[in-house]
A and B are shown apart, each in its own frame.
Chain A
């Protein structure tokens, strides 16, 4: 009944956009960064906790559309357990995917529901907003330990 709408808004996007699993600030974190999209007012704040040189956990607070929130939520799962270097690689793969509509690395199938934004140019920024914040958080990794004001 909704085939015309489903392509971009797959079940994963709808569910995670509505009830993200990782949509809260971490009680303890060692890296964080905010991202915003001034054209539309969407905002995300990403929090990371590392353990043994890897991302142990990612949480976020966001105000935005289903696509940006679902993207942040999928991101939390995609980078958990990864080294910073690998997390940045994944971010690069996402930035490429939203333009090409494809993701070549089979280990990143989880992120595939985001690929359809490549056909909705005006929404690419929504999908990449959390990933840009992740890049900033990792660039300043460890610089702001403890808790910060939101």
Chain B
């Protein structure tokens, strides 16, 4: 798409694309600040899925009839869209999964058990989502892989010296680190992470579940080996995600789930695998969700990541300065390079109470440990409240959050 003909970023117009934003909560306008958990869906995504169900639907990759051919074509377009989104060389690098959780489990299973050798190590960081922690613990326990945790600083940034120290004995076969923290908003220095991993002979995966929503990602420029994303945070449907991987890795890796679609030929004695990426996709895929995700990717690319990042930067800066002014409210995480996720605590009030009291005022945030319990421990908190922004978030919504927090503060006095 030509950047020059992109219309200027207009949040009011964007909001009109999201039917749900017109809903009222307890008579108040919905202030939805929980997009990092799952984003709302634009009309084009809803329509694409409804259209498929109403006009053009059958199983894919197998029917020899018109409906199946058309559906296969529509579904496979998401692979191209994903390749475009991540700047992968082509669609053969894109394994479609049901989520980023599945994408990372795929790597832990297939690369972890098929390629890594017992005695080798995997490095993750202290700020991972459980989805990028638990699969490696399972691998550790099943396959004799050592799990190493790269430290973070008090500001919530990856401690690069600590990270490099973990690589130096060259036992590390794979590094898997978040590209953007879902709790702290921190962007990690992805390029450096990958470079260092490679320097010490390790492959590198990035958990792009959050990052890909907020900035342009170029897997070739990053030279990353694996990149995991999930569709529902990217304004697409639930139940669909993807793994980008370098082609030679996909070719070398064994399949991890067996079933239809992933095979070339099957007999009771021997079964041969389909080529990558299909050998990693067992069973009927999430067809409608794929069609929805394709529409979502087109939609965000139509807006453009430069505009999205600029808009979200403005919101984040505004939120940080508003929250800093509220007595008793502490923002958790002060990374230099950060995206539209702001975690905070309030003195004398548990995060759940804060979230419920915000909800009473129409403001939706998430509260709890955000699927990152070890990170909470590292930060010395039980839980936080988290406001997160999307393309449709507004400065007025940030003001509404701040005003509601001031009231809660008063209420708790």
Contact = CB atoms under 8 A, between A and B. Distances in A.
A and B interact: yes
A41 B368 contact: yes
A5 B383 contact: no
Interface in A1-34: 2, 4-5, 7-9, 14, 17-18
A142 interface: no
Nearest to B348: A18
A40 B383 contact: yes
Interface stretch (A64-72, A86-94, A96-104): A64-72
15 contacts: A2-B407, A5-B407, A14-B412, A17-B353, A18-B348, A18-B412, A41-B376, A41-B382, A42-B352, A64-B350, A66-B349, A67-B353, A120-B356, A123-B352, A126-B352
B242 to A, nearest CB: 27
Interface string B150-162: 0000000000000
Q: Is the interface of B mostly helix, strand, loop or mixed?
A: helix
Given A41-B368, A41-B376, A126-B352, A5 B357 contact: yes
Interface string B187-211: 0000000000000000000000000
B411 A63 contact: no
Contacts of A63: 382
A26 to B, nearest CB: 24
Contacts of A120: 356, 359
**10 closest A-B pairs (Cβ-Cβ)?**
A65-B350, A65-B352, A40-B368, A65-B353, A66-B353, A41-B369, A4-B360, A2-B411, A5-B360, A5-B357
Interface string B394-413: 00000000000001101110
B369 A4 contact: no
A85 interface: no
Q: Which of B348, B350, B382 has the most CB of A within 10 A?
A: B350
Contacts of B360: 4-5, 7-8
Given A5-B361, A40-B383, 13 more contacts: A4-B361, A5-B357, A7-B360, A8-B356, A9-B357, A14-B412, A18-B348, A66-B349, A66-B353, A67-B353, A120-B356, A120-B359, A122-B356
B17 interface: no
Nearest to B368: A40
A130 B383 CA distance: 19
B373 A66 contact: no
Interface string A98-127: 000000000000000000000010110010
Contacts of B350: 64-66
Contacts of A41: 368-369, 373, 376, 382-383
A122 B349 CA distance: 17
Nearest to B408: A5
Interface residues of B, number: 24
Interface string A50-91: 000000000000011111000000000000000000000000
Contacts of A14: 411-412
A108 B351 CA distance: 29
B364 to A, nearest CB: 11
Contacts of A40: 352, 367-369, 383
A96 to B, nearest CB: 22
A2 B412 CA distance: 11
A42 B350 CA distance: 10
Interface in B332-379: 348-353, 356-357, 359-361, 367-369, 373, 376
A102 B36 CA distance: 36
Contacts of B361: 4-5
A150 interface: no
Contacts of A7: 360
B344 to A, nearest CB: 16
Contacts of A17: 353
A89 B227 CA distance: 54
A39 interface: yes
B134 to A, nearest CB: 13
A2 B407 CA distance: 8
Q: Which of B349, B353, B360, B369 has the most CB of A within 10 A?
A: B353
A82 B410 CA distance: 38
Nearest to B351: A65
A64 B356 CA distance: 14
Nearest to B373: A41
Nearest to B28: A4
Contacts of A9: 353, 356-357, 411
A136 B383 CA distance: 26
A64 B106 CA distance: 36
A71 B342 CA distance: 30
A123 B356 contact: yes
